[in-house]
């Protein structure tokens, strides 16, 4: 018999895409999607079970269907807009993961666990290293929001791995996910007509395309060919980095540099109005940036993304249509201003910094 794969959080578009993709693998016999609410999109030939992973009933689902592979995608950074509480999201992220892991621990049929995590676990702080590897501890642990949820989730996963050493566990820490159908706080930020930024900062950012997310999840769900392959914790991101200013120019959107207290106030106002989830952790990312090493992704997991960071962002930008300022016109205007005589005599090259939040201001797009 082929594998029986259970996928959580299938009401979300990305999880639905993965369900449809994993069904095409010849070694997969059956796919079961679970969520607390029915999905609005189709799941192909997969079975859908309406179940809340925060409830003990998830253990019965694993037992009745003899699930051997669990892909846990119900860990989300999307919080309710319009002033709503994120309590239910945190419960699903943390309590739901605890219940799911408890069910997996009791199930003798479970042999593989794949967890969708995030590079948010590293936080974003002024004294961060230029590049995080999977073993680099954060300078400052996230104090709240989705980043803290992800840290707690990974802690529970490590405990599960110790209790069930016979289960292969793969934790995938994704950089910011972008693409035509991306639905994330950062995608919402980049969709604003004008981008508020933190005055004096131009952070380095990394992205991973949603197509690459689906593919690496599929690889992670496979049985490892060697004892170490497809097991462990892996950073997942496209090659290269982009500055926030480059992102704005490629979108054709003007930026409004604000002092940090004003950005915090503006973020709260945008969230209350339901425009986007401009959380404190996102403000820290847009201040200090974050870059991770993907060596283990390539050398151990054996995965090479199709899209670079720039390529993923370009595909996202095309899906959002032209901004208020066409990128070519914006670049031309910047060049003309820089060429003005009274500026030419006053320009200088700043001292480069090795910190992600303070790259040289003369970086080219």
Confidence of residue 336 (pLDDT cuts 50, 70, 90): very low
Instruction: Decide: 317 and 250 in contact? Cβ < 8 Å.
Output: yes
Rounded distance, CA 229 to CA 299, Å? Answer: 9
Q: Taking residues 332-342, what's their average pLDDT?
A: 45
Rounded distance, CA 271 to CA 363, Å? Answer: 32
Instruction: Decide: 89 and 79 in contact? Cβ < 8 Å.
Output: yes
Asked whether the predicted pLDDT for residue 340 surpasses 70, the reply is no
Asked whether the predicted pLDDT for residue 270 surpasses 90, the reply is no
Q: Residue 223's pLDDT is what?
A: 72
Rounded distance, CA 97 to CA 262, Å? Answer: 36
Asked whether the predicted pLDDT for residue 331 surpasses 80, the reply is no
Q: Taking residues 10-17, what's their average pLDDT?
A: 95
Number of H helices, E strands in the chain: 14, 13
Estimate to the nearest angstrom the gap between the alpha carbon of 80 and the chain centroid.
17
> Tokens 């004294």 label which residue?
127
| Rounded alpha-carbon distances, angstroms, from residue 365 to 107, 162, 201, 310 | 52, 46, 16, 11
Give me the sign of the Cα torsion angle 209, 210, 215, 218: positive
Surface-to-core class of residue 237, CB atoms within 10 Å of its CB (0-12 exposed, 13-18 middle, 19+ buried): buried
Domain membership flag for residue 315: no
Domain membership flag for residue 340: no
Q: Taking residues 331-343, what's their average pLDDT?
A: 45
Domain membership flag for residue 282: no
| Number of domains composing the chain | 1
42-80 residue pLDDT tens: 999 999 999 999 999 999 999 999 999 999 999 987 764
Instruction: Decide: 103 and 59 in contact? Cβ < 8 Å.
Output: yes
Q: Taking residues 138-160, what's their average pLDDT?
A: 90
302-323 residue pLDDT tens: 999 999 999 999 999 999 877 6
Domain membership flag for residue 221: yes
Confidence of residue 276 (pLDDT cuts 50, 70, 90): low
Task: Write out the E strands in the chain.
Answer: 3-8, 28-35, 47-50, 69-72, 112-118, 168-174, 176-178, 195-198, 204-205, 207-209, 232-236, 242-243, 255-258
Domain membership flag for residue 251: no
For residue 96, the SS3 value is helix
Confidence of residue 347 (pLDDT cuts 50, 70, 90): very low
81-119 residue pLDDT tens: 344 456 788 898 999 999 999 999 999 999 999 999 999
Rounded distance, CA 276 to CA 324, Å? Answer: 19
Q: Residue 304's pLDDT is what?
A: 96
Nearest alpha carbon to residue 274 among 188, 197, 182 = 188
Rounded distance, CA 323 to CA 340, Å? Answer: 26
Reading the block at residue 119, the tokens are 């590079």
Domain membership flag for residue 93: yes
Rounded distance, CA 80 to CA 167, Å? Answer: 34
Least confident of 150-154, 259-263, 283-287, 355-359: 355-359
Reading the block at residue 42, the tokens are 């189709």
Element (H, E) at 260: helix 260-272
Q: Residue 310's pLDDT is what?
A: 98
Q: Residue 297's pLDDT is what?
A: 96
Phi-psi map region of 292: left, alpha, beta (phi>0 left; psi -120 to 50 alpha): beta
Rounded distance, CA 284 to CA 138, Å? Answer: 14
Reading the block at residue 244, the tokens are 């926030």
> Tokens 């032209």 label which residue?
322
Asked whether the predicted pLDDT for residue 269 surpasses 80, the reply is no
Q: Residue 346's pLDDT is what?
A: 40
For residue 54, the SS3 value is coil
160-203 residue pLDDT tens: 999 999 999 999 999 999 999 988 889 989 998 999 999 999 99
Across the chain, mean pLDDT equals 85
Angle (nearest 5°) at CA 255 between 249 and 256: 165
> Tokens 């002092």 label which residue?
259
Q: Residue 136's pLDDT is what?
A: 92
Q: Residue 136: which CATH number?
A: 3.40.50.720
Domain membership flag for residue 357: no
Better pLDDT: 121 or 355? 121
Rounded distance, CA 224 to CA 348, Å? Answer: 54
Asked whether the predicted pLDDT for residue 252 surpasses 80, the reply is yes
Domain membership flag for residue 9: yes
192-234 residue pLDDT tens: 899 999 999 999 999 999 999 999 999 999 876 544 566 899 9
């Amino acid at each position: 018999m082929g594998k029986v794969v259970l996928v959580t959080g299938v009401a979300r578009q990305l999880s639905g895409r993965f369900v449809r993709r994993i069904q095409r693998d010849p070694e997969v016999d059956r796919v079961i999607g679970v969520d607390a609410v029915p999905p609005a999109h189709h799941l192909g030939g997969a079975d859908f079970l309406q179940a809340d992973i925060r409830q003990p009933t998830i253990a019965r689902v694993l037992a009745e269907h003899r699930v051997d592979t669990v892909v846990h995608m119900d860990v989300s950074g999307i919080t309710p807009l319009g002033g709503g509480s994120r309590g239910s999201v945190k419960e699903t992220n943390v309590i739901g993961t605890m219940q799911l892991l408890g069910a997996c621990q009791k199930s003798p049929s479970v042999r593989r666990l794949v967890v969708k995590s995030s590079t948010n676990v590293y936080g974003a702080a002024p004294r961060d290293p230029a590049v995080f590897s999977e073993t680099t501890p954060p300078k400052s642990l996230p104090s709240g929001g989705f980043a803290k949820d992800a840290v707690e989730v990974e802690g529970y996963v490590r405990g599960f791995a110790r209790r069930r050493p016979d289960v292969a566990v793969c934790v995938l820490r994704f950089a910011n996910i972008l693409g035509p159908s991306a639905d994330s706080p950062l995608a919402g930020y980049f969709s604003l007509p004008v981008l508020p930024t933190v005055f004096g900062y131009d952070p380095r950012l990394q992205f991973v395309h949603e197509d690459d997310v689906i593919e690496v999840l599929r690889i992670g769900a496979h049985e490892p060919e060697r004892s170490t392959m497809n097991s462990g914790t892996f950073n997942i991101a496209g090659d290269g980095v982009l500055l926030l200013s480059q992102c704005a120019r490629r979108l054709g959107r003007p930026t409004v540099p604000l002092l940090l207290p004003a950005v915090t106030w503006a973020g709260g106002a945008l969230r209350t109005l339901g425009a986007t989830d401009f959380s404190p952790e996102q403000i820290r990312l847009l201040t200090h940036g974050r870059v991770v090493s993907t060596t283990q992704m390539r050398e151990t997991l054996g995965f090479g993304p199709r899209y670079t960071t720039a390529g993923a962002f370009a595909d996202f930008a095309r899906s959002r249509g032209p901004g208020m300022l066409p990128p070519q016109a914006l670049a031309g205007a910047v060049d003309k201003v820089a060429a003005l005589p009274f500026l030419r005599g006053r320009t200088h090259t700043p001292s480069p910094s090795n910190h992600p939040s303070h790259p040289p201001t003369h970086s080219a797009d």
